[in-house]
Amino acid sequence: MNQPSLGDLDVKISIGDSTLAQMLPPEVRAEVGKSTSIDVSARVLRFSRHLLPGMSGGPVIDANGEVIAVVAGGLKNGTVPVSWGWPATHLPNLLTASHSGTGTVAPSTLFSTTKDLTSKEVKRCGALEFIKLRRATFGEIAKTADDPVGLFNIALASGRPRVEIDAYEFDIWTHRVSGATVAVPADTALVDTGEFCIARSESGLLEQRIMGAFAATQYEVQTVAVRFEQLMARPGQWFGLDPVLTIGPQLRADGFVVNRKGAMGVPFGANTAIHFFETLMARGGTFVGIMTYNNRMRQYQMCTANPAAYGCSEVLDELAQWTRFLLATRLSTYPVY
C-alpha cells in the first residue's frame, strides 16, 4: 500500500495519565470541542515518537503482542506534531456501539488523514539524515510554535505586514528517529556539503547552515555544540549578542534543550558587517545546529520607517528574505512528548 507504518519505530508511552485537554493549547482545545465530537477530557496515551498522517487507526502492540492502543491522531505543534492513541480498553465499547459518525471535520491543527509519503527528498546534514515531509505557511506553524515571543520579535523588527509574513512558506525537514525538525525557506535548495547542509538565497547574501550529530550525554552535547560553532565561525571582530533575537538556554520538561542567539560583527578582510542567528538544540541522543547568516548587514530601520524613500524597494525586498531565514531558524525544534 506504500503507506507509513509504525513497524519501524520504537514507540514508548509517556509516563503519567494525560488527557487531550492537557495536551492542547487553549485555542486549539476550544476549536476541537466546538467543531468535533472528540471528548477532550478523555484519557489518552501520549507517544514518545512523532507519528505521521496515515498511521491513524493502526494498532499499537506491546512486547507481548497485545494491542494496547489505537493510533488516534496528532496535533500540529509548530513545525512538528505530537501524537496520541485511544487506550485499547475502549475497544469493547466500540464493538457494541450503535452510534454512527456525524461526519464532522477535524480542525486544521489536527491531522488524521492518509497521505502518500513515498519518494520524499532526503539529505544528510552531518551525521543525521533528514527527510522533507511537507510545506507549510508561517501562519499555520506559528499558531502552536514553541517560541512565540522570539517569532513576534522577528516579525516586528521586519516591519512587514503580518498578513504578508503569515503567507511565507517553509519546507519542513525531519529526522525520523529523534523527531528533530528543521524549517528552510520554501523554494530554497538544501545542499549536502559533507559536514553540513547549506541553503542560500538567490542573491547569495543570505544562507542557512544545518548540522546534525549524535550526542548521548550533556558533555557530548556541549562538545558538539562548540564544534558546530567553530565550524561555522568566521574570524573577525564580534560586537556581542543581538539582544532582540537572543533569549538564552531553555530546558523543557521532556528533556529538550535549546539555545537561540544572534550576534553581529565584521569578519577579517570584509568591508561590511555580517549578522548571524543560530538555534542549538538537542534531545534523545541527538544534536542539531542551525545558523543563518546575513552577509551584508544593512541599516534597515530607515527604510522600514520610510518605505517610499529612494533605494528602499531593494532594501525591503532583502529584508523580507532575511526575515524568512530568521523565522526558519527560529521555528526549528523537537516535538513535545
How many beta carbons lie within 10 A of that of residue 234, not counting itself? 15
**CA-CA-CA-CA torsion sign (208, 209, 214, 220):** negative
Secondary element (H or E) of residue 153: helix 148-158
How many angstroms separate the Cα of 100 from the Cα of each of 94, 96, 97, 103, 165?
11, 12, 8, 9, 42
Predicted local distance difference test score (pLDDT) of residue 69: 79
Q: Name the grid cell of 126.
A: 552531518
Q: Which CATH number fits domain 122-331: 3.10.450.50, 2.40.128.20, 3.40.1000.10, 3.40.50.720?
A: 3.40.1000.10
Threshold 0.75, pTM exceeds: yes
DSSP 8-class letter at 314: H
Distance CA 131, CA 299 (A): 37
Rounded distance, CA 154 to CA 96, Å?
53
pLDDT given at position 198: 98
Regions of the chain with pLDDT less than 50: 1-8, 15-16, 103-106, 111-119
Residue with cell 529526522: 175
For residue 97, what pLDDT is reported?
A: 66
pLDDT (0 to 100) of residue 12: 56
Per-residue confidence (pLDDT) for residue 2, from 0 to 100? 43
- The reported pLDDT for the residue numbered 15 is 46
Cβ pair 170, 290 in contact under 8 A: no
Residue 245: closest CA among 145, 151, 159: 151
> For the chain, which residues make up each domain, given as ranges?
18-111, 122-331
The set of cell numbers assigned to 134 is 511537507
Give 124's strand partners. Answer: 129
What's the confidence (pLDDT) of residue 182?
Answer: 97
CA 66/CA 26 separation, integer angstroms: 34
* CATH class as words, domain 18-111: mainly beta
